[in-house]
Structure 1
Amino acid sequence: MAISTEAAPAAMPAPIEKYLEHVRVERRLAARTVELYAIHLAALAQNAAAAGLALDQVQTAHVRRWMAQLHGAGRESRGIALVLSCWRSFYRWLGNEGLIGANPVQDVHAPKAARPLPKALAVDDAVRLAELHDAEADPWDEARDRAIVELLYGCGLRVGELVGLDVQPSGTARGWIDLDAAEANVLGKGSKRRLVPVGSKALEALAAWLAVRGDCAALEAAGLRDPGNAAALFIGRNGTRCSAHAVWKQLRGRSLKAGLSAPVHPHMLRHSFASHLLQSSSDLRAVQELLGHASISTTQVYTRLDFQHLAKAYDAAHPRAQARDEGPPAGGGSRRGNKNGHS
C-alpha cells in the first residue's frame, strides 16, 4: 500500500494521539511540524492496518518494505528521511513508555541522495561578469569588486581564502598575492598552503585596485590615516577586512547588473573556474592541485559537468544528433543512446 501524504484522518489510534499530544505540549513543536507528524503517522497506521498489524507489531522488515514503496513511487530521499525520522521518534517514545521492546525503525535509513552537480556558469556568462564595468558605481568600489571577481574566477579561490589575503606576506598572513611572480599564496582547508597562478587580467585588476585602495576619504574619516599599512588586501569603507558575507552581497548585485539570469555566489565562480579549465585541458590532476582538493574524487565531480558540456556541443553540432523534420527515430529513443545504455 502506498503511503499517503495527504491530510491526516480525523481519528487515529490512541498511541498516535497521545504521542502528538506529547510533541505538541511537552516538546512544544511548531504547529506545522505537529501537522506533518500527524500526516506521517497516519500513513504508518494505514500501512500497519493494511498488513493486519497493530502498531506495536510492526517489524523492521515491514518498515523497509514501506520505504521501498515510497522510493519506487518517486519520493525523494529527503522526503523519505523525514518520514523515517518521524516514525523513529514515535517508536522511541513508545519504548520510553514501556509499550514496545525494540524500535523497528532504528536501523532503517533513507536511500542516499544523488550528489548534486555543482552549479557553474557558462563561459560567456563568466566572461561577461568579469568584464563588467559599472559606470554608476563609485570608482573605489568598482576597482575593488572587479579585482574580487577576477581572483574568484581566475584563480578558483574559496571566499574564505579570498578575504584572508593580505597586501604583504608576513608571519601572520593567511595569504597574499605575489604580483612579481604572478602567484597567490593561500591558506586552504585543513590549514594547507598552496600556490595558484594569477592570470594577466586578474593582475591588471589587482594593480588598479591597489592604486586606489588607500585613496578613499571614508578611510580617513574612520581614523585609518595610513591605509597602506593595513594588512587586509580587500577592505570596506570602514577600513576593515571585507567579510565573506560582504563579498556574497557585492557579487550578487554585480551579477544582476551584468544581466545574468540568476544571482552568482562566490563558490559558483570556483565551480566555473574548475569546469572551464577541464573543458580546455582535461587535466584533472592539475585542477585538483589548483583547487586544493585533498582527494581527486572531489575534483572528479567536475568531469560530469564537462561531459554535460560535451553532450550539448554534440547535440548542437553533430549531423547525426540533430533533430530532423521527419520526427524522432523509430522507437522514440534518444539519438544519443537509448534507455538500455547503447550509444
Structure 2
Amino acid sequence: MSADELAAPVRAFLTYLRVERRLSHYTTESYERQLNAVMALLEQSGVSDWRQLDATRVRAVVTRSKRAGLEPASLAQRLSALRSFLDWQVSQGALPANPAKGITTPKNPRHLPKNLDVDEVNRLLEIDMNDPLAVRDRTMLEVMYGAGLRLSELVGLDLGSADLDTGEVRVLGKGSKERKVPLGRTAVEWLRRWLPMRELYEPEDAALFISSKGSRISMRNVQKRFAEWGVRQGVTSHVHPHRLRHSFATHMLESSGDLRAVQELLGHANLSTTQIYTHLDFQHLATVYDAAHPRAKRGKS
C-alpha cells in the first residue's frame, strides 16, 4: 500500500475542519502539522493504513515524540489532534473504534510565578498620594495582598462585600463558592479612604472598585495599573495580580506553617493545590508533621 493510504483520510479530515467545522486557518494548519508528524512516525514503523493502528502503536508515537524532544504541552496537542482525527474516522465508518482513547501524555509541569519578598511588597505598597485613582490602586493592592484574592474575585467585589467593622470580605470564588476572609487592618484603613473618593466618579452600580468612567474596573485595567506601579515604585520583579496572591500564600505559610488554614484563605478545594501553589517540598511537610502530629512525637527513652 502507498503512503497515500494514510494521507488521503487526513486530507479529507482537514477539509471537514475547514468547510463543515469552519475552524480558522491557524487551527486547521496546526492539525495538519501534528497529523503529518504522526504519519511520518507511523511510516517509519511500517504502518501504511489507519486500520493497522492500535493502542500499542499510539503509545509508540507518544514515546518517540517525547524522545524527539517534544515538550509536554506540544505532546498533548499532538495526541489531541490524532484522537480527534480518529474519532472522525470512526464517525465515517472507516474504523471500528478509536485506539487513542485512554492514552495519556505526561502532565505539563505547573510553572508557578515567583513571589515578591516582603521588602518588595512593602516597597510596592508605599503609595501615599491623595490622587483618587492612586488611592484606589493602593486600596486594590492592599486588599489583594491582604486577603490573597484572585483577580476575578477582586474586580467582582461590591460595596456590600467588605465589612469594615469586622475586617472581613465576602468573596465569590471559583464554582460560585462563597468564602469569608480577613482583610487586615491596613486594607481596611485604605478602604475607608477610597470609599468617599469613589463617589467622585459617579458610580454606575455597586462595584467596589470602579474606573475613572464610573464603571466596574476591568481585569485588564487592574493588570495594567499594577504593572505600572511596580515600575514606578522600583520593584524589579514584574508586578501582576497572581504574583501578589502567590506572595500572600507564601508569606502566610512561611509565618504560620499552617497549610490547612492557607488552603481555606485561598479558597482551594484540594489541599494538594495549595501544596503545589506554595512550592512546598516534602521535607518541609515532614518537619511540620514531626513537630506537630501526636503520633510523630517519640517518647523519651
TM-score (norm 2): 0.77
Q: CA deviation at 1:152?
A: 0.4
Residue 287 (structure 2) aligns with: none
Give the Cα separation in 1 of the matches to 2:176 and 2:85: 43
Residue 245 (structure 2) aligns with: 270
Amino acid in structure 2 at the alignment position of 1:233: L
Give the Cα separation in 2 of the matches to 1:203 and 1:75: 49
Name which of 192, 199, 214 aligns with 2:184.
Answer: 199
Residue 176 (structure 1) aligns with: 162
Amino acid in structure 1 at the alignment position of 2:167: A
Identity %: 41
The answer as to 2:264 corresponding to 1:289 is yes
State how 1:1-150 maps to structure 2 within 5 Å.
13-17=4-8, 19-20=10-11, 22-24=13-15, 26-27=19-20, 28-55=22-49, 56-133=51-128, 139-150=131-142
Aligned CA distance change for structure 1 residues 69 and 153 (closer, same or farther; 3 Å)? same
Give the Cα separation in 2 of the matches to 1:53 and 1:78: 26
**Which secondary structure does the structure 1 equivalent of 2:77 belong to?**
helix
Q: CA deviation at 1:64?
A: 0.6
Whether contact under 8 Å (1:182, 1:198) holds in the other structure is yes
Give the Cα separation in 2 of the matches to 1:239 and 1:29: 38
Larger helix proportion, structure 1 or 2? 2
Name which of 131, 135, 149 aligns with 1:157.
Answer: 149
CA deviation profile, 1:104-156 (whole Å, cap 9, x unmatched): 223322222233335432333222221234x6xx7011111111101101121
Whether contact under 8 Å (1:13, 1:45) holds in the other structure is no
Give the Cα separation in 2 of the matches to 1:108 and 1:296: 27
The answer as to 2:195 corresponding to 1:210 is yes
Whether contact under 8 Å (1:177, 1:183) holds in the other structure is yes
Give the Cα separation in 2 of the matches to 1:131 and 1:301: 30
Whether contact under 8 Å (1:165, 1:186) holds in the other structure is yes
Give the Cα separation in 1 of the matches to 2:239 and 2:249: 16
Q: CA deviation at 1:42?
A: 3.3
Aligned CA distance change for structure 1 residues 19 and 244 (closer, same or farther; 3 Å)? same
Give the Cα separation in 1 of the matches to 2:53 and 2:175: 46
In structure 1, runs of 5+ residues without a counterpart are: 1-10, 168-172, 311-343
Amino acid in structure 1 at the alignment position of 2:35: L
Amino acid in structure 2 at the alignment position of 1:244: M
Whether contact under 8 Å (1:19, 1:93) holds in the other structure is no
Residue 236 (structure 1) aligns with: 211
Give the Cα separation in 2 of the matches to 1:278 and 1:196: 16
Name which of 150, 170, 173 aligns with 1:188.
Answer: 173
Give the Cα separation in 2 of the matches to 1:266 and 1:22: 42
**Which secondary structure does the structure 2 equivalent of 1:66 belong to?**
helix
Q: CA deviation at 1:201?
A: 2.4
Q: CA deviation at 1:96?
A: 4.3
* More displaced 10-residue stretch of structure 1: 144-153 or 33-42: 33-42
Residue 324 (structure 1) aligns with: none
CA deviation profile, 1:10-65 (whole Å, cap 9, x unmatched): x9525414532552453455444444444433333333333333223122211112
TM-score (norm 1): 0.69
Aligned CA distance change for structure 1 residues 108 and 254 (closer, same or farther; 3 Å)? same
Amino acid in structure 1 at the alignment position of 2:54: Q
Q: CA deviation at 1:283?
A: 1.4
Aligned CA distance change for structure 1 residues 61 and 127 (closer, same or farther; 3 Å)? same
Residue 329 (structure 1) aligns with: none
Amino acid in structure 2 at the alignment position of 1:26: V
Residue 326 (structure 1) aligns with: none
Name which of 251, 258, 261 aligns with 2:233.
Answer: 258
Aligned CA distance change for structure 1 residues 40 and 131 (closer, same or farther; 3 Å)? same
Larger Rg computed on CA atoms: 1
Name which of 222, 225, 246 aligns with 1:247.
Answer: 222
In structure 2, runs of 5+ residues without a counterpart are: 285-301
Whether contact under 8 Å (2:42, 2:61) holds in the other structure is no
- RMSD of aligned C-alpha atoms? 3.2
